Amino acid sequence: MDYLNKVSILQLKNFFANNRKYPYLIIFSIGVLVRVIPELEALPFPIGYDVINYYLPVLVNFDNHWASASNQFPLYVVLLHVIISITHFDPRLVVTATAVFIFGLFSVVVYSIAKNNFHLSNYQSIFLSLFVIFQVSVLRTSWDLHKDMLALTITLYCLSYLGTISNASKRILLTILPLSIISVLSDRMIGFLLTLVYILYSLIKRERMIAILATVTAFIFAAGLFNSIDTLTNNIMLGSASTASRDALQQSYNSVNLGILFLVMCGILLPSGVIGFMKAKITILKIPLIISLLGSFTWIIFAGTSALLPDRWIIIFSIFLSIFSGYGFIMLIESKRIAIYHKKLVNYLVILIPFLFLGSVFATSPNGSYLNLYGLFHEYMHYYDPMTMQYNSISIPESESLVSLIDWMNHNTPSGSLIVGSKHLRGWMELDLKNRSFLFSDNITNTLHSNKYAEFYLLDSSLVSNLVTHELQNFSSTLSYNNTNYSLYHLKSIE
């Protein structure tokens, strides 16, 4: 029996070591499985903040949203709209399936980088791929930043391709340029990153074709940026819009919160990441790592503003750092600096399993789970990231309560009624609320003081309980509906 077990293990090792095709298929399948499990667990509700508040409302009411969506690097949402128009599939299915498919492709690209750029074996490449795709920064990006994930996947492929060729040729323009255009028109931050990497790499390599690639990509990105100039200007001016806005930004974008976010996302990766960075010979992947690191600390110079999105740069830096960190662990194991057990495979598993656990808990645990270590830092990180993927703009249990409430409103409030509530619920209301209007506001107090509405429904009992003493003095309040998570009050002006 022992002999047969040894033979089976040896055959399995030879299969992975010598086969070139199946490892790609295996990694793609694992990536798809990792990403689809959180979706299946949350059914019938979606996960992802932008999914419920951006992608689904835009796709369901595409003509109404196109004017604003067209100014926000709309290529990805246009792609989804085309798929829906051709197949007539449900938008929720298309959004989810596309996100899952992209995550599978991302997994394959990471494996390809391990094989073709770091020149690792199949075993080592699988280790690096699993190490990266289970990182919280990767899962968080895939959670709702779907267009970022598409742009990042294409960006990594383009950079890895450039890193494998010694002399640039016209083949670069035919192979990489179309993909680069898709990447820079899908997302502003990743588009900026890819463009800047091309420019810096062309200065290092001093090859004509790379310079052409950088120039054309920069031109396309500039055109997309010009088209979204209004949105960009609004983001920059947000901090100066009002005292309340500045106070809110100071509360979230401060050195403590951003510093803790950086340490949580990158701290455990830094030691091996530095080793991987020093050992790796692939220059082109080091450039985005350095750029994103600089972007992660823009809050030091531009304090109290979200315009440069340092939290997003921290996430991007963590993703690139995880690649070098995984490579660093491989170098440490192969050099026997990490030798917990005499078999290397066991050493790889010892390193990998904690990261698999952290990623799995983040992907599947309910909101507030004690197993989720990132929940310990919720007070500081909730401004930027969810504590679990089992969340959209609200938790999954809250989603069930909200759907019940909306169904009640559709059948028990007068047609044309005005509902006032949190901006985080705007996507839900647009999708499910019928023949009624939803007014979302960051400041319910201002809405009440405006005296603009003589009668409306106020959603969320916590708001009412906090305001009833002062702001509701000019309104009569009647509890119309109540469930586990939500209450609906009918307000009428008494003046």
In tens, the pLDDT along 96-142 reads 999 999 999 999 999 999 999 999 999 999 999 999 999 999 999 99
Q: How many whole angstroms separate alpha carbon 133 and alpha carbon 322? A: 9
Q: Is residue 389 part of a domain?
A: no
Is residue 199 domain-shared with residue 326, that is, in the same domain?
yes
- Indicate whether 87 pLDDT > 60: yes
Is residue 234 domain-shared with residue 348, that is, in the same domain?
yes
Is residue 188 domain-shared with residue 312, that is, in the same domain?
yes
Is residue 188 domain-shared with residue 310, that is, in the same domain?
yes
- Inter-CA distances, 95 with 32, 46, 143, 238, 427, Å: 14, 10, 11, 30, 15
Are the C-beta atoms of 155 and 183 separated by less than 8 Å?
A: yes
In tens, the pLDDT along 217-227 reads 999 999 888 87
Is residue 183 domain-shared with residue 158, that is, in the same domain?
yes
Domain boundary at 356, 381, 406, which? Answer: 381
Are the C-beta atoms of 340 and 347 separated by less than 8 Å?
A: yes
Is residue 263 domain-shared with residue 353, that is, in the same domain?
yes
Asked if omega into 397 is within 30° of 0 (cis), the reply is no
- Indicate whether 320 pLDDT > 60: yes
Q: How many whole angstroms separate alpha carbon 332 and alpha carbon 199? A: 33
Is residue 358 domain-shared with residue 442, that is, in the same domain?
no
- Inter-CA distances, 356 with 93, 192, 349, 351, 363, Å: 27, 31, 10, 9, 10
Is residue 327 domain-shared with residue 402, that is, in the same domain?
no
Domain boundary at 332, 352, 381, which? Answer: 381
Q: Is residue 388 part of a domain?
A: no
What does the DSSP assignment read for 225-261? HHHTHHHHHHHHHGGGS-HHHHHHHHHHSSHHHHHHH
What does the DSSP assignment read for 170-224? HHHHHHTHHHHHHHHHH-HHHHHHHHHHHHHHHHHH--HHHHHHHHHHHHHHHHH
- Indicate whether 53 pLDDT > 50: yes
- Indicate whether 191 pLDDT > 90: yes
Nearest to 65 by CA among 430, 364, 319, 425: 430
Is residue 193 domain-shared with residue 118, that is, in the same domain?
yes
How confident is residue 20, by pLDDT bands cut at 50, 70 and 90? low
Q: 395: burial class by Cβ within 10 Å (0-12, 13-18, 19+)?
A: buried
Both tokens of residue 206? Answer: 């001093």
How confident is residue 201, by pLDDT bands cut at 50, 70 and 90? very high
Q: Maximum distance among all alpha carbons in the chain?
A: 90
Domain count, the chain: 2
- Indicate whether 476 pLDDT > 90: no
Rounded mean pLDDT, 173-178: 86
Over the chain, what is the mean pLDDT?
A: 86
Is residue 141 domain-shared with residue 248, that is, in the same domain?
yes
Q: What SS3 state is found at 61?
A: coil
Higher model confidence: residue 415 or residue 341? 415
Q: Is residue 124 part of a domain?
A: yes
Is residue 370 domain-shared with residue 437, that is, in the same domain?
no
Q: Is residue 101 part of a domain?
A: yes
- Indicate whether 49 pLDDT > 70: yes
- Indicate whether 244 pLDDT > 80: no
Name the strand (E) or helix (H) holding 300. Answer: helix 298-301
Print the domain residue range for 174: 2-381
Domain boundary at 381, 411, 426, which? Answer: 381
Q: Is residue 172 part of a domain?
A: yes
Name the strand (E) or helix (H) holding 410. Answer: helix 396-412
Is residue 458 domain-shared with residue 340, that is, in the same domain?
no
How confident is residue 462, by pLDDT bands cut at 50, 70 and 90? low
Identify the pLDDT of residue 18: 55
- Across 68-77, 191-200, 346-355, least confident range: 68-77
Identify the pLDDT of residue 147: 95
Q: Is residue 200 part of a domain?
A: yes
In tens, the pLDDT along 150-175 reads 999 999 999 999 888 777 677 777 88
- Indicate whether 448 pLDDT > 80: no
Identify the pLDDT of residue 4: 45
Both tokens of residue 135? Answer: 């990182």
Q: How many whole angstroms separate alpha carbon 190 and alpha carbon 295? A: 12
In tens, the pLDDT along 252-278 reads 778 888 889 999 999 999 999 999 999
Q: Is residue 462 part of a domain?
A: yes
How confident is residue 84, by pLDDT bands cut at 50, 70 and 90? very high
Q: How many whole angstroms separate alpha carbon 97 and alpha carbon 429? A: 23
Q: Is residue 387 part of a domain?
A: no
Identify the pLDDT of residue 242: 47
- The structure's pTM equals 0.89
Identify the pLDDT of residue 342: 76
- Indicate whether 233 pLDDT > 80: no
- Across 66-70, 256-260, 339-343, 444-448, least confident range: 444-448
